[in-house]
A and B are shown apart, each in its own frame.
Chain A
Amino acid sequence: DQQVKQNSPSLSVQEGRISILNCDYTNSMFDYFLWYKKYPAEGPTFLISISSIKDKNEDGRFTVFLNKSAKHLSLHIVPSQPGDSAVYFCAASAQGTYKYIFGTGTRLKVLA
């Protein structure tokens, strides 16, 4: 049973436009969320995080939104750049656990 789901395996966006990557979760105990970016032949790289006490966190071109009632989070990248082309994973953890549950990833392709 996949507790963290990224239902879009791939996404293509034109350079300069907004990329929106979505992530849904089923476990209401999750209260801390991360986004990672992964290039081929490299390990995942931490991008941005959000705690359940917030509904938005922004870092430069990257903004993560959390909708707790819908158990949904999204990552917005504005403006998208070709170097953003990678696989993006969301991950969630519950209070009192050391464990992050990862989604299956969304492959973003930013077209020049």
Chain B
Amino acid sequence: QVQLVESGGGVVQPGGSLRLSCAASGFTFSSYGMHWVRQAPGKGLEWVAFIRYDGSNKYYADSVKGRFTISRDNSKNTLYLQMNSLRAEDTAVYYCAKEAAYCGGDCFGVWGQGTLVTVSS
């Protein structure tokens, strides 16, 4: 079955860096665009970044533009999120999500279980 497993979360100081990974299985990873979505504690969902199936296009939320970089390795079926210059407001559970073909790429068909990033001194 389709599965997404995030890893790499943890506690980091403000200004620090962290790289998240999302291991995909159960589908042809190289055929689908992928997203990162985050959720601050007790808050709603916020889209963070998207990468096309072949890595040719990447889009970011204004709140992370210039600090976060989304990438993928289709040979390893893995999605990444490099997070630099982290701020307290980046504290959240980070989910990777697979686009759904039946939405024309506009929705999130499958989600991972999430990984918690805490930015604190």
Report if A and B associate in a common complex.
Answer: no
Interface, chain A (partner B; CB < 8 A)? none
